[in-house]
Structures are given as C-alpha cells and as structure tokens.
Chain A
C-alpha cells in the first residue's frame, strides 16, 4: 500500500481539527474509547455537539485554550492508501510548526472559512507550502453550510485564491467545497452541493498521483554509517550504509565519491534481507564499492557525470525558528546538511521577505522568530548540494545554536 503524508494548515477557527477528526472518524480510525472520552469532555463543557477537535488537541494546555499548540501526527488508512497527517497550528506565533509539517509532506491541505474568505494566514500558509515545495495543494473551502451552500461564494474564493497562487508557483492545486462539521464532501460527495462535480476530499487524497514527485534522476547517496563488522565471518567486509536521497542506483554503475572525487563502480547493494539490483528513494541500503577508497560518514556517492555542487558558499532561503537568538550578518551557527555536520558564518542577510505581501526588505538587519529571508552562508567545509527545488534532500539543511542546542532555522538552498 502506498503512503501519503499531508500537512494541514488553517487559521484558528477554520475548523482544521474538526476536519481531521471527521476524516479519522469517518474512516473508522477513531476508536470507541477515544470517542467516548471526547463525548464526555464535550458534554462537560456544555458543547452542543461532539467536538471532534478534541481528538487531535491532546495536550492539557490545548484543551484548556481550545487551540492547537504543536504539530500532531495522526494516522489512518483506507483500502487504497495509508495516510500520515501532520496537523499544524494556524496561529501566527507557531509558523515554525507549519514549516516543520510541510517539510515532509506530499500534499498541503489549506482551509478557509467560506464566510471569511482568503485571510492573511491563508496566504502565508500557501506561501510556506510552496516555499517548502510541497508538490500538491488542496484548498478546502469549509463551513459551506454557513453560506447556504452557495456556489457563487465558492467561486469567488476559488478565483481569489487562484490569482494569488499564480504568483507563487503552486505545482498542483485542487479546490473542494466542504462542511467538516457535517462531513459534506469529506468522505463522500455531498448532496447539498449538486453544482460541484469534483471528488470528495478523501477520494482526492486516495487518488492524487505522488509516485513521480520523487527525484529518480540524480543519484545522491549521503554516506550515513560505515559498516565494518571486524568479525571472523566478515573479516574484510566494508560497506557504506545510508538512505538513497534521489536517483536510482544500480549494481555495476560507475560512481564518484565526494569529496575525494575518485571514481569506482558499485559492486553490490545489500540489505539484511539479501542483495538487490537497484536502490531508489527512500530505501535504506548498504552500498559496496569495487575499489578500496577512503569513504566516511558525511561523504556523498553520486554519478560521475551528474554530481552535486561542491561548495562552501551557500545561498538559501531560511525560515528562522529561534525563540531567543536572531540571525544577523556575522552570526555563527552549526549546520546539519544530509549526514554532514559543520559550522557556518552568515556572510549576508540579502533580504527579509514579508510573507503576506511577498515584499523583499533589503534594509533588514536581522531575522527573528517566524521570519523568512534570503541569506548567504560560508561553511567551514564543502557541502554537496543541489537546488532545493530539484532535490528536497540535498537542498535542505538546519541551523543549530551551539550555545543551547536548539534548532533555530530550516534552510532551502537556491
């Protein structure tokens, strides 16, 4: 069964948690005891209906405040697919969670309230999803019951969003009118909106084509762990373990190892369950090479005529997530890129981007929590990079504050 990861986003009252509760409930991923607990709490609070948001808002503070604080991961499956949901909060101060959820998603699900239409936060979330290169986007126009199932209202919102999306380079956009509270167009097609002839949300999630979203062209294999058993049985064994970041690796391929630049051929691709002829993302395998080269963790195996950039100068968009520290020109951080750890100094903050207007402020002198900007970094040692738009694995990195150990930024290489 194929697996689809999607990230939800929406403003505080868009009904995002209700929608997820509905998907889980209608696909029978919610168990009787969980539902009873929610019903009990809803009744205690005097709520008029079973508040499905309580299924996902698990922390005490979330229940008290009626908000979602942190990314919550939820799981459900249908006969066709298995789903992982990253449910991310919509508040302005928690944008970093939205970026976290989007970083691994195949699809972004953006909600708007049909009464309110496109808000600042809708734009921000759509922008962040495209910045993180989430390959598919679904805009759910929710609370259609509160606008009398109006086709005209739906068309207005759809039109406005499409105009905005055109500026963003959204790869694949689908718009669906729903009512999460009542389940209209969530799992099954709603009878309330005969004018809508598209799929229900769940049907779309089951059918959207994701297999070709991966990069199967550029072979990139960051070495994660050198396997050297040093036992009698495996005396001279040496293999390079890792996850295929992109491309298809085959036994017999001529490959190059970075940073040495030396070339050799793949003599075997092995797993605990036996050898394989080919490996592709995201398989975890052990690659063996015909020649005895000096290869260690942090090195990269690629094809001879298709190599990543080898560089100590990185141009990137970054999303700043540090609470205390902020980014300024000259500041120093640790960087983790693929399996490589190094340090960076910020050469330049090129501009800060206003995520609502997309205005570039070139006079900006710092980035603080939830701000996005373009930077130039100088790295202590060469990294093996590709543009993020071409490769989400070799194009991404995180920055770490060495003083606190906190993850302070996610970066996408330009």
Chain B
C-alpha cells in the first residue's frame, strides 16, 4: 500500500541505508571483516550483509573476539550461523593474548578491557582494512559522535576531535597501509529498531535474549549468572529467577534483567517502555566513569 505513495517505513529506510554502506565497503576495500559475536546487533548486521549481496555470497569473513568468558549458547549460535551461511569465521582469543603476554589478567577478572589489544592484533595480523562493527549512536554519548566510516590510525586509535566530515551518503574510506576504517552500518538504528527489525525478519536469536529460568546473584545492582567464571562471593545470595539479557557480552560483566518477555512481541513491548539504557542496565564495563566509553574507544575498542 505504501508503494502507491512512494513512502518507506523507517525500518525499510534504515535497511536501505545499511545495505548501501555494506556495498560501498565491499566495492572500495581490499580486506573487510564483519565483527560477529552472536549478539543481536551483529546478527542484524549479518542479515543486512546477506541482503546486500544476494544472490551472491557475503564477500568477506566474520570475526569474533572471544574473551574466553562467553555464554556457551551464544558461541554455539555463532558457529552454527557461520556454517549455515558458508562464512569463514576468524576467532581472536583474549586467552591467547594473555598466554602470549600481550595483556595481563586484571585483578577484578574483567576481560572486556583486554579485548582492545586482541582486536587490534587480529586486525593487524589479518591485514583487515575495513572492520564492520554493530555499534549504534543511541547506545552511548561518545558513540553519538562517531562517523559511519570512522578512521583509525596505525595504532587503531580514534581521535574524536579530528574526524572526517561525512556529507550526504558519500563515504570516504581513504587510508594508508596499517591504518583502517571502522564501519558502523547500524549507526542510525535504535535498540527498538533492532528488535522491531529482528521480529519483522523472524530472525532466529540465541535463546538467552528471551525470558528463561536461570541461577543468578546480585552484584552492584546487576544480576549475574552463576557459571564457571562468575562465582558468587560471600553474602551474595544465589536464586533462580526468570530473566533475559538485553545485551550479550562477556559473562563476567553482562547482567540479566528480570523479565517475562518470551517472544519478540513481548520484548518489543518491554523495550518500548523501558526507562534505563541497555548499557546502563546491564554492562559493568560502561559504569566505570562518565567517559568510560570515550576512553576505551580512543584506544581502539569496538
């Protein structure tokens, strides 16, 4: 019906913009890679890439930076999707970086901050020149300032005060050997857009995004799952609650939220009325300081 008036729904508009970005990168770069964690944003990216090149195959590999503390369900999903789509999966491991002495385990056990080194080493070793990331500008205030094509110097650093102007949809991917471009095809998507799109496309997601029973304990106001990497400390009470995850990262810093949302429709209803950002609610790594994300991004984080 909307075709009669030549109007596009906002999801169609976002989809078209992202597909355009994927094709520009494929056409203008030698060695792109898509960061694929099995999280919902990277799943949307993969779907969009599939659409951009259909009926051809996605013309680049996918890469996961594995902290060694990931949810087993999500790793299984990652492997299955890559195989179904015939994609080469590169796994860059934080454990390997620790073993090689590139980074040192932190006293608090958090491995998220260590990922930057592993990521940059893998980009260098594979000579990737364009790295697709699923970051969205609505996630965090430093990300609100990021370009779709974001230049990184030979050290992988982002300089927020010296970014290339990005006009119309004319993206500038120029870089010299050793430098690379981070590309964010979901820049203009919000959390709600992502969920509405996943529902519309009926994309299969890791089950932990939907309500399930899980043993959890409370720490710093977050519900952490019990598991091999997250043991409750003294005084932290373990209970079985009905929870789901809004973001999926390292198990040691990703909290669950209490939720009965078992379907896409339930999750969309929940996201539409929620009053806390997904990162504020569930990510210990973003709570460290007001500029935690900016500082990590400058060093080359996702």
- Whether B141 is near chain A, meaning CB under 8 Å from some CB there, is yes
Return the contact of B56 from the options A97, A228, A282 (Cβ within 8 A).
A228
CB of A282 within 8 A of CB of B17, answer yes
CB of B167 within 8 A of CB of A100, answer yes
CA distance A32 to B273 in the complex (A): 12
- Number of A-B residue pairs with CB-CB distance less than 8 Å in the complex they form: 186
CA distance A228 to B26 in the complex (A): 13
CA distance A392 to B169 in the complex (A): 10
Q: Which of A66-96 contact B (CB under 8 A)?
A: 69-75, 77, 82, 84, 96
Q: Which residue of B lies closest to A338 (CB)?
A: B170
Q: Which of A121-176 contact B (CB under 8 A)?
A: none
CA distance A366 to B150 in the complex (A): 29
Return the contact of A396 from the options B7, B170, B280 (Cβ within 8 A).
B170
For chain B, the count of residues having a C-beta within 8 Å of the partner chain is: 62
CB of B168 within 8 A of CB of A396, answer yes
Q: Which residue of A lies closest to B140 (CB)?
A: A58
Q: A73-B137, A229-B55, A229-B56 are in contact. Are A3 and B145 (CB under 8 A)?
A: no
Return the contact of B6 from the options A73, A82, A216 (Cβ within 8 A).
A216
Set of chain B residues within 8 Å of A214, measured between Cβ atoms: 6
Q: Which residue of A lies closest to B149 (CB)?
A: A407
Which residue among A3, A37, A396, A402 has the maximum number of chain B CB atoms within 10 Å of its CB?
A: A3
Q: A61-B161, A73-B188 are in contact. Are A398 and B174 (CB under 8 A)?
A: no
CB of B27 within 8 A of CB of A225, answer yes
Instruction: Label chain B's interface by main secondary structure.
Output: loop
- Whether B10 is near chain A, meaning CB under 8 Å from some CB there, is yes
Set of chain B residues within 8 Å of A2, measured between Cβ atoms: 7, 9-10
Distance (Å) between the CB of A249 and the closest chain B CB?
11
- What mask results when residues 42 to 75 of chain B are scored 1 for a CB within 8 Å of chain A, else 0? 0000000011111111000000000000000000
Return the contact of B142 from the options A41, A58, A225, A230 (Cβ within 8 A).
A58
Q: A59-B145, A72-B145, A82-B10 are in contact. Are A407 and B165 (CB under 8 A)?
A: yes
- What mask results when residues 254 to 279 of chain A are scored 1 for a CB within 8 Å of chain B, else 0? 00000000000000000111001010
CA distance A77 to B280 in the complex (A): 20
Q: Which 3 pairs from chain A and chain B are nearest by CB?
A: A58-B141, A33-B280, A405-B174
List 17 contacting pairs A-B, 8 Å CB cutoff, sorted by A: A2-B7, A28-B275, A58-B144, A59-B145, A59-B294, A61-B161, A74-B138, A229-B56, A237-B55, A243-B16, A276-B3, A282-B16, A283-B8, A286-B54, A393-B168, A396-B168, A406-B164
Residues of B within 8 A of A (CB): 3, 5-10, 12-17, 19-20, 23-24, 26-27, 50-57, 137-138, 140-142, 144-145, 151, 160-161, 163-170, 172, 174-176, 187-188, 190, 192, 274-277, 280-281, 290-291, 294
Residues of A within 8 A of B (CB): 1-3, 28, 31-34, 37, 41, 55-61, 63, 69-75, 77, 82, 84, 96-97, 99-100, 103-104, 211, 214, 216, 224-225, 227-231, 233-234, 237, 241-243, 248, 271-273, 276, 278, 280, 282-284, 286, 297, 321, 334, 336-337, 339, 392-393, 396-398, 400, 402, 405-407, 410
